[in-house]
A and B are shown apart, each in its own frame.
Chain A
Amino acid sequence: MVLADLGRKITSALRSLSNATIINKEVLDSMLKEICAALLEADVNIKLVKQLRENVRSVIDFEDMAGGLNKRRMIQSAVFKELVKLVDPGVKAYQPTKAKSNIIMFVGLQGSGKTTTCTKLAYYYQKKGWKTSLVCADTFRAGAFDQLKQNATKARIPFYGSYTEVDPVVIAQDGVEKFKNEGFEIIIVDTSGRHKQEDSLFEEMLQVSIAVSPDNIIFVMDASIGQACEAQARAFKEKVDVGAVIVTKLDGHAKGGGALSAVAATHSPIIFIGTGEHIDDFEPFKVKPFVSKLLGMGDIEGLIDK
């Protein structure tokens, strides 16, 4: 994850504060420059990076501030706060409830990892004892149903799909209906990859969403994405009610900073991360513990709440 790699750089940048005898504008600027460079290298959206820099700067008023210790603390706390903002939209993710049908719809760009992640999530809940199922509402991509079918079969998860029906709305509706009637608790709907530039694809996503009234819509993002993420994520959120983000392919070298702009753009938390192609390469993601662990600070909460 971006911040995990950044941890070291940020700590070292912050250390330059402790080493400086006086803390003035130059010291702050050079520290911010280091941090911003590291964020940009990790693909964090440039607008977010510039905002972070401005926000930290605006907290510190050099004219009107007492001792060095206080300044250091204020700067540190401002930096932490901004970093946390990057990963934490400040809202809670939807939690499924037992003994009722929880419908979860997956959306995202082409090839981001939706189909793979659908099975991972289903498997995750199944292992915890939930009654879980999968619906393949991707009628577009060649071999999409086979892919989901093979994954689901291997994990012994009931699935629904069709080789002949071409309308994803019909399949989604029928599949969800069937599993609802059979008392399934988790019903996950996989959809085709799409992008904001193609209206008909976005319209189709809306229709599927209307047809199945999902309890949660999960936006799946590839960790290697760069500056184009923000506009796409925002467009998805404007069309349907995205409520959570999953970042995939974090087993590679990618730091996932680009995908973070999806958090800001959709006001939704990251709930899981994908760390490989296998079904159990999947981890729940919790923002606060993640950030404090990364910065090696037990007292980060205290620092931030000031």
Chain B
Amino acid sequence: MFNMFRGLVGSKSISREDMEPILDKLRDHMIAKNVATDIAGKLCESVASRLEGKVLGTFTGVASTVKATLVDALVQLLSPRRRVDILRDVIEAQQQQRPYVMVFCGVNGVGKSTNLAKICFWLVENNFKVLIAACDTFRAGAVEQLRTHSRCLNALHPPEKHGGYPVVQLYQKGYGKDAAGIAMEAINQARDCKMDVVLVDTAGRMQDNEPLMRALAKLIKVNSPDLVLFVGEALVGNEAVDQLVKFNQALADHSSQEKPHLIDGIVLTKFDTIDDKVGAAISMTYITGQPIVFVGTGQTYTDLKNLNAKAVVHALMK
């Protein structure tokens, strides 16, 4: 008999105590789905303060209200306020007779170079000509990795089909050289050769490594790219927070510009390796407020997707 009325609150207003056990469960649930603990806590707190004191309808339970409010907050979080429209911006740069420049940065091994190659493929499919700047001059094989990709991409789109010109060019100066300088030379060459886009690959670096972070800030400062993309893997746990905070911080601290160029967007990679543990998407967006521009879903050129906010939230709440 009593069970029939479970969750029935009448017209009583919701208190923190009512919500506490439900929020505790939701927080643990989010942590299990790989949302950073701190952010899971903050999300719950924001739901609590939004609902506290609200009067519920006669047949609405506290649990379902709390959950629905959280779902709303999450969908909103993942729905970008600002759309990054690369194809449109490339055309705009074309009209200004200059190449559109994108820089890829992030910690070691997350998929910067591979997803740069996928984005290159996507641009080529959209009839743009792309120059890849090999600015990882540190990691063994980094240059050859990009050379292999540019060969494959040119094989997929042979020059014969594109007015006799290769659609993808590689600009490289081997190892050990200054990355910022190579990027600048690459951009100049792209302008001379009328390439539409420059994709700048950078070496992976730990967010605490001050000299390397300084070097990245310099590369961005002297080359004023159109878009700075942070590449992060969906596998990352609580570190997602520290990575993004410190990459942004370094770009701000070392730029000595009035309006430093911070991270414009995120590439979320290895999304195919995490089943429904999609929490990193939440952590990364929460920290930057920047959109997830691409999602990497595999190791081939076509494994590049847009983020589906609803689907991610659904997987998260499951």
Contact = CB atoms under 8 A, between A and B. Distances in A.
Contacts of A140: 299
Contact of A143 (B37, B109, B141, B279): B141
A196 B141 CA distance: 26
Contacts, number: 140
Nearest to B27: A40
A209 interface: no
A203 to B, nearest CB: 16
B235 interface: yes
Interface in B25-63: 28, 31-34, 37-38
A77 to B, nearest CB: 27
Nearest to A192: B299
Kindly state the interface size class of chain A when it binds its partner. Answer: 35 or more
B142 interface: yes
B272 interface: yes
B31 A151 contact: no
A113 interface: yes
A27 B235 CA distance: 36
Contacts of A150: 140-141
B144 A40 contact: no
Interface stretch (A126-134, A237-245, A247-255, A298-306): A247-255
Interface in B122-171: 138-149, 152
Query: SS class of chain A's interface: helix, strand, loop or mixed?
Result: loop
B122 to A, nearest CB: 17
B274 interface: yes
Nearest to B278: A228
Closest 8 CB pairs of A and B: A226-B237, A147-B141, A143-B145, A111-B109, A142-B148, A43-B237, A146-B144, A150-B140
26 contacts: A43-B237, A46-B32, A47-B32, A110-B111, A110-B299, A111-B110, A111-B233, A141-B145, A142-B117, A143-B141, A143-B145, A143-B146, A146-B145, A195-B270, A196-B273, A225-B236, A226-B236, A226-B280, A227-B32, A227-B33, A227-B34, A227-B279, A249-B107, A253-B206, A253-B207, A253-B239
Given A112-B109, A228-B277, 19 more contacts: A41-B37, A111-B233, A143-B144, A197-B272, A224-B236, A224-B239, A225-B236, A226-B34, A227-B34, A227-B279, A228-B235, A249-B109, A249-B206, A252-B206, A253-B206, A253-B246, A277-B108, A277-B138, A277-B139
